Structure 1
């Protein structure tokens, strides 16, 4: 195992500096997704609708609409439509998106942004479909039923009640974009105010003095007091889980865009600089799954790298140019495109290899995962659109 990872890392370090040929990468993505669309159609039956990863036998694994990752597959298809203008991708995106329609009423999860904004939100952005807008508003209405004004946050999980009375995870920052959109759509500031309150509470409680993040903050739902600070999907509670830190960077950059609050920009800049300062930031710019997990044979997380790159391209628009966040993002994207892409025609249509889902639970380790592909394409689109 160690020899295999070493050879992979050596290859990555040799080739990471090559430039991205955007047109070729889009053609590659089209080819891969053509494979995935065909396979998913053959497997999509009953409750399973959206590709997520590969199972332990290396076969394509689909998930139900209620899974937190269900919106990324339609989001990938919408982005291919945006890149190419090809009607076939629009049609496939519409079919994949509409399978999630009932999720707008699912109040048993905080993942409405991931599911609905990455699918219906992208569809609205690229087509202006009014029915999508209405579904997004209802999704936001459902999401805010999980808000506790005493805590000042939207509740995350309903499970693990033996560990936390009221858990809030750093990932939840990503669901706030849906609320900001709902206020724009309706003129009702309720959604905006809840998003800002959640972001401010996260700003206060989720960060350590060195700028790293905890994954889970456990609150007392009656008093709002912080009871636990844990890193559930990381190496240990005081370690920094790479994808969690990536969610923080992306989330506060997005919140600055939506509000103009300099506190959010300050935190986004601090988080971006935190990555740069890490002694264990790899030479090929794709982080280990956790920054404190010991040894150099730890699995990488291409999904975290893609999220970071997409956020950095946006942050570059707001921060002083001397910070060169787009250049940082370019280095990450060169590595992902050059050394982490799946071989053409393989991996059942996924774009990127070497992501890590939940290592402590022995789940999705060193596999392709659909959200890595989503944020990789989003970063590629931002690079193109903003001339980075």
Structure 2
């Protein structure tokens, strides 16, 4: 359990005074989100028209980021980020109650239904559950129910019982035999939901097996997470622990720490297994106590990046962490106030210093994220999953500020 005295003096002083004007800031940020989403809905069709599909390829359907020339980058449904924009529109619909956002969400959600059958992707959870799952939460549409369950069947084909985990990439075969990435914790939410919706416990069992395997093998003694763990499919044992998007094999890639925090918090929600709650608390402790955590609590792209403080930030990691902390605060009475105040501080700083100007950035809401620094890809740019988790965290904050239960899918 995290205690206040375990935190550095810098974070303690930062959290000493209560945040002011939370309700006003939330309302202002939601208004900006609507302005930006309106612009994005105008920009996407134009960008799609300018980027016709190559022969034999699927057409682009969803915004992802900005190109180096500040044009809107759009991707096909197969891209792992394709579910975030429809999911973001569903969240905006929930936040405002305005039918126009639900109408737009339905359109963009329909564009990626084919992904429910893609057995080559471990990211079917990101694609389908952020979109169809968010839509089902609001509409209870039985057609969405069927898509979610089918997507869970598809994801289950990537589970190897000997390893006890879901395979991540099919590519990079020259580097890893059976890679499992910390990001994959997020896709387990689809499986838990499918068991609730269908009564088929096989999805639940796969999710628990994967979570247990990750808990046992993905973490260092300080509870920072490796990015990639490679397994031997004959024995199920670990072959090596490496990175793909972090600075080094032994570094703490920031978004990976966010995935770990969010993933184990969610797994505790679904199972009430206290080992998962403890793991989430320990990951939070690592993040809070790290000497390279900036004063505004928006991490550098890697906690061990060699050029700190002259390294890019990752606002997407901060948004993921904030959303997770709001939920974690509802499960940890002894540390609830700490988690809430930390999440509030992250959100205050993101809203005040990391959001786009109204009418700018092609309609994105949150700036200064880092996608894949080692590949020199998407550095210090807006990225759609940052907007998604920022909006989710905003809704969670509003619920808690109003004394309501969190609205969880």
Same fold (TM over 0.5): yes
CA contact 1:19–1:334 (8 Å) conserved in 2: no
Aligned-residue offset at 1:386: 2.3
The equivalences for 1:272-351 within 5 A come to: 272-294=284-306, 295-323=308-336, 324-351=338-365
RMSD between superposed Cα atoms in Å: 1.2
Query: Could you tell me how far apart the structure 1 residues matched to 2:86 and 2:48 are?
Result: 14
The equivalences for 1:1-388 within 5 A come to: 19-20=21-22, 21-45=25-49, 46=53, 47-294=59-306, 295-323=308-336, 324-387=338-401
Query: Could you tell me how far apart the structure 1 residues matched to 2:47 and 2:352 are?
Result: 31
The verdict on how the C-alpha distance between 1:18 and 1:385 changes in structure 2, with shifts beyond 3 A counting, is closer
Alignment size in residue pairs? 373
CA contact 1:18–1:338 (8 Å) conserved in 2: no
Aligned-residue offset at 1:234: 0.5
Aligned-residue offset at 1:18: 6.3
Query: Could you tell me how far apart the structure 2 residues matched to 1:26 and 1:332 are?
Result: 16
CA contact 2:247–2:304 (8 Å) conserved in 1: yes
CA contact 1:153–1:168 (8 Å) conserved in 2: yes
SS of equivalent to 1:227 = strand
Query: Could you tell me how far apart the structure 1 residues matched to 2:20 and 2:329 are?
Result: 22
Query: Could you tell me how far apart the structure 2 residues matched to 1:364 and 1:329 are?
Result: 25
SS of equivalent to 1:49 = strand
**1:195-240 CA deviation, whole Å, 9 max, x = no partner?**
0000000000000011101000000112111111002110100000
Query: Could you tell me how far apart the structure 2 residues matched to 1:102 and 1:257 are?
Result: 29
CA contact 1:355–1:372 (8 Å) conserved in 2: yes
Aligned-residue offset at 1:19: 4.2
Aligned-residue offset at 1:322: 3.7
SS of equivalent to 1:386 = helix
CA contact 1:215–1:231 (8 Å) conserved in 2: yes
CA contact 1:309–1:329 (8 Å) conserved in 2: yes
Find the counterpart in structure 1 of residue 15 from structure 2: none
SS of equivalent to 1:51 = strand
CA contact 1:117–1:136 (8 Å) conserved in 2: yes
Query: Could you tell me how far apart the structure 1 residues matched to 2:200 and 2:157 are?
Result: 15
Out of 108-117 and 20-29, give the one that drifted further. Answer: 20-29
Query: Could you tell me how far apart the structure 1 residues matched to 2:179 and 2:143 are?
Result: 33
SS of equivalent to 1:136 = helix
Aligned-residue offset at 1:321: 3.8
Find the counterpart in structure 1 of residue 12 from structure 2: none
Find the counterpart in structure 2 of residue 12 from structure 1: none
**1:22-55 CA deviation, whole Å, 9 max, x = no partner?**
1211110000010001110222355100000001
SS of equivalent to 1:44 = helix
Find the counterpart in structure 2 of residue 4 from structure 1: none
SS of equivalent to 2:370 = strand
TM-score, with length taken from structure 2: 0.90
CA contact 2:329–2:335 (8 Å) conserved in 1: no
CA contact 1:231–1:240 (8 Å) conserved in 2: no
CA contact 1:18–1:334 (8 Å) conserved in 2: no
Gaps of 5+ in 1: 1-16
Aligned-residue offset at 1:107: 0.4
